Structure 1
């Protein structure tokens, strides 16, 4: 049975093969072309898909196209395909700490990410497996998959010590950086998530499109603020 990407967390010992993960990610990204159109935020197109039987939460997608003045494919991949969690901390204000839990292979790693929010919302902790794949065949494509990970099993006690204290949230996401024929770059991201705790679902869903869309201008602003040798 093909792997289905959901917010249901996996234990480190149950991680599927990289081929299965990337195949599921590709299928999900392909399906976004048929999702319902949402509002544009910050000039970024958004789409959404209602929760299905196999899902733990609804899905949201954002799509943006960029000229080389925004960023080249290489610049996008350098910051999103490598040390993604560390770099997100630099342009997503709610992220206060990221920790590498386990480096499984050059293309697979487990990270825990600590978010803080204005009161009365408690801090949230998201622990994910990140899988990256760069395809050099033209047009070049880079894919980043994040899958929720559960470290509560006894065999994962040492890894769990690296998690911060906070309400456990879960998210699954697939991002694709792709060169287009006109020289532009498309950045597409689809995600499904739950913050955990007692935050009403309707509040989370109402703000999700705008929240994921604002990551695009925030990323570009941060990228352009870096010294040229780092961007």
Structure 2
């Protein structure tokens, strides 16, 4: 279920199926090959693609004190309109569109990425499934699955123009016993087009690690406005 092969709108699994698959992916990251640590506190790990998968998997993990951000505030930014907020702290994203709200926990988004030449703009369209669990330890999970809208013209016309890329991701924040928060994200992706796979895989750990300091800097600016 969780791979870069896009699903159709009529084949979106239910929340329980998605979260069960997400649990498996995140549990498996504990056994992935460790990679570099970036920005002082963002650890990475990865595993090669398995048979039937289109790309390798990469993971980043960071721990945050409540002085940086609370569980509730982090979930507010990641669990609600995540794509809209990502546009604010990920420099490459220049436009996002909510294609369809299927339910309060399932939404289809299309994200338009603009890069420096000669790399062409990329479009990633995903269905995002969210779940907040108040049981101890509290967790918030966001799963993004690539989706193909070509069979639904009304939805497809909302997509931006660009090379079609694909990514699947599982993102979870966990409130630990000492009050700190673990922010863990695992992803598999392909940018599409003619970018060499070797180049993409080599730079992936550093690229996903950048999202953490980008988010924290944006969050501090948001707090300063209050």
TM range (shorter): over 0.9
Task: Tell me how far apart the structure 2 counterparts of residues 210 and 229 of structure 1 sit (CA, whole Å).
Answer: 30
Unpaired runs of 5+ residues, structure 1, are none
Structural RMSD (CA): 1.0
Q: Tell me if the contact between 1:58 and 1:192 (Cα under 8 Å) persists in the aligned partners.
A: yes
Deviations 1:40-77 (A, max 9, x none): 11121000010100311000000000001111101110
Task: Tell me how far apart the structure 2 counterparts of residues 66 and 223 of structure 1 sit (CA, whole Å).
Answer: 13
Deviations 1:112-152 (A, max 9, x none): 00000000000000000000000001111000000000011
User: 2:105 — aligned with what?
Assistant: 107
Task: Tell me how far apart the structure 2 counterparts of residues 145 and 72 of structure 1 sit (CA, whole Å).
Answer: 21
Task: Tell me how far apart the structure 2 counterparts of residues 229 and 45 of structure 1 sit (CA, whole Å).
Answer: 30
User: 2:129 — aligned with what?
Assistant: 131
User: 1:95 — aligned with what?
Assistant: 93
TM-score normalised per structure 1: 0.96
User: 2:200 — aligned with what?
Assistant: 204
Structure 1 moving runs of 4+ over 4 Å: none
Task: Give the C-alpha shift of residue 229 in structure 1.
Answer: 7.5
User: 2:140 — aligned with what?
Assistant: 142
Deviations 1:76-117 (A, max 9, x none): 100000010000000000000000000000000000000000
User: 1:173 — aligned with what?
Assistant: 169
Paired residue for 2:8, among 2, 7, 11?
A: 11
Task: Tell me how far apart the structure 1 counterparts of residues 54 and 200 of structure 2 sit (CA, whole Å).
Answer: 14
SS of match in other structure, 1:226:
helix
Deviations 1:13-44 (A, max 9, x none): 11111111110011100110000000111121
Task: Give the C-alpha shift of residue 227 in structure 1.
Answer: 3.7
Task: Tell me how far apart the structure 2 counterparts of residues 25 and 134 of structure 1 sit (CA, whole Å).
Answer: 13
TM-score normalised per structure 2: 0.98
Q: Is 2:26 the partner of 1:33?
A: no
